[in-house]
Amino acid sequence: MNNKKKIVLASTMAILLAPAVLNTMPTSQIVQANTQLIGSVRRGGATLVDARGNELNNRILPVYSRWILGPAITINNNTYYQVATNEYVSTNSIDVIDSTGKIINPQDQQITNVNEIKTLANNAHVLDINGNDTGIILTAGTSWKVDQYKLIKGYQYYRVATNEWVKALDFQLDSTNNSASPVDIIGTIAYNIRVVDDNGNPNGKILLANSDWRFDQVKNITNNGVTKKYYRFESNQWIEADAVKIEDDSTTTPTQPKTITLRYTTFVVNSNGTQTRSLPQGSSWKVGQIKSINGHQYYQVGADEWVLTTADQNTSIFAKGPVTATLIQNTQLYDTSTNSMTRILPKGTAWKISESVKNDNGNYFAKVSNNEWIPLGGYVFTDNILTEELANSAVYEPNFATNTY
C-alpha cells in the first residue's frame, strides 16, 4: 500500500542527530564549539530559542532524543547549544554528554543564573550547596535578592547569599501575570483541564485526566478578578495547579532478593532520574529494592543507582495489568482483521494498552482494542520511558504485520 514504511524502534531508543554542519552565529556570541558533544533531552522535552533568547513556536525537541551540539552561546548568563540554524537549546533541558559517554552537566550540580527579588511566604531553613542545614532560619515576609537557582536533594533552591540556599517553594508567588518562578515537577492530571496562554486566555486545548507531564514554571494568573496558581508545561501553555497530582517518588519498597539480567545496554539513573552511567547488555545484577522515579519502577543495582525494572529480561510492564498512554501526535492504527492501516487516533487522547509485540522486522506494536494496534515508531506517546517499557515487554511474533511494516 502507498503508506508502507519502515518504522524501527530500538529498545535503547533512537538517537536523533541534528546536521553535523551547523551555520555559525556571529563570533561575539560564540563561547564554545565542540562537535564531539551530544545533547540528550531530559524528561519534559526542550523548547528551542533563537540567538536572542526568543522562544520558537512549535519547536520542541522530544524527550530522550539525542542531538549533535554545535557552538554554545550565552543568553542571560546561561549556556545554550546550537542544534540547527539559529536554534538553540538550554543546558537546563539536556544532559551534555562528552565523547567518553560522561554527562558533564549533572542536573544536581547545574546552576542557573537569575536576578530577582523574592519574598518568603514562611520561615525557611537555609541549606549549603551540599544540602546540609546551616542552622540559619529566615523569617516569613522578608525579601531577598536571589542570583542563582539549582537542584538540591531533588528540589529547586535559590541562592540568597554565598553558600546559602532556600527552597523555591518557601517563597511567595509573584502576584502579577508577568513573573514566573522555575520549578521541576512531574505530575499527573487529575481531571480533564483546559489550557491557557501566558495571559490566562483559553487556547482551545485540553490536557486529559491521567496523563503525565513535566512542569518547568509556576506563577499566578488572574482571570475575572480571581487569582490562581498555574503550572507551565510548554511555552505559553499553562494549566491550573489544582488539576495536578504531584507524585511522591521518595518511597523505596523492599522486594524479594533476586538476580536480574539486562536485555540491552542500560542507562543507570540516580534518585532524581538523572543518568549517571550505563551497564552492558547481558550483565547480571543482584537487586533487593524497587523505587518509583518520575512515575516509573526501578530496581536498585548500587548505592543510589537504579535501572528500569523492564530492563530485566524477566520483568514485564503488564505484570499488574494494562497501562495507560497519551498520544503526542495523530496516530494511525494497524488492524489485524484486515491487515491494513485504518482509522487515526487524535493527538492528546489516552488509551489503555494490554499487550505489546515485536515482529521479525524489528517493529513494535501496542494493543489498544481487540484488533487494533498502535505502531511504536519514533515518539508516539507523551511519556517516552513508557514507550521503552512497552518495547521491553513485547512478545516476539515474527510474522505480525510484516506485510505492512
Q: How do residues 361-375 score in pLDDT, each as one tens digit?
A: 888 899 999 899 999
Please tell me the predicted confidence (pLDDT) of residue 173: 61
Domain spans in the chain, listed from the N-terminal domain onward: 1-105, 252-315, 323-396
Tell me which residue of 78, 213, 239 sits closest to 150, measured CA to CA: 78
Q: Look at residue 136 in the predicted model and tell me its pLDDT.
A: 92
Q: What is the pLDDT of residue 254?
A: 64
Over the stretch 189-199, which tens digit does the pLDDT of each residue have?
888 888 888 88
Report CA-CA distances (Å) from 87 to 43, 92, 115, 283: 20, 15, 25, 40
- Calpha distance 122→162 (Å, rounded): 21
Mean pLDDT, rounded, for 92-117: 78
Q: How buried is residue 1: exposed, middle or buried, by Cβ count under 10 Å (0-12/13-18/19+)? A: exposed
Tell me how long the chain is: 405
DSSP string, 284-318: EEEEEEEEEETTEEEEEEETTEEEEGGGBTT--GG
Higher pLDDT, residue 77 or 69: 69
Which residue pairs, CB below 8 angstroms and at least 24 apart, start in 103-107?
A: 103/274, 103/275, 103/276, 104/37, 106/274, 106/276, 107/42, 107/151, 107/272, 107/274
Which helix (DSSP H) or strand (DSSP E) does residue 336 occupy?
Answer: none
Q: Which residues pair with 380 in a beta bridge?
A: none
**Which three cell numbers, joined as nine digits, stand for 381?**
506517546
Q: pLDDT category, 118, cuts 50, 70, 90?
A: confident
Per-residue cell: 377:
515508531
Interval 136-159 mean pLDDT: 83
pLDDT of residue 2: 42
C-alpha cell at 395: 512478545
Position 405 scores a pLDDT of 65
pLDDT tens digits, one per residue of 40-61: 887 556 788 899 888 887 677 8
pLDDT of residue 311: 93
User: What pLDDT digit, counting tens, does each position of 314-365 carry?
Assistant: 999 988 788 888 888 788 899 999 988 888 888 878 888 999 998 888 888 9
CA–CA gap between residue 139 and residue 171 (Å, rounded): 11
What is this structure's pTM? 0.43
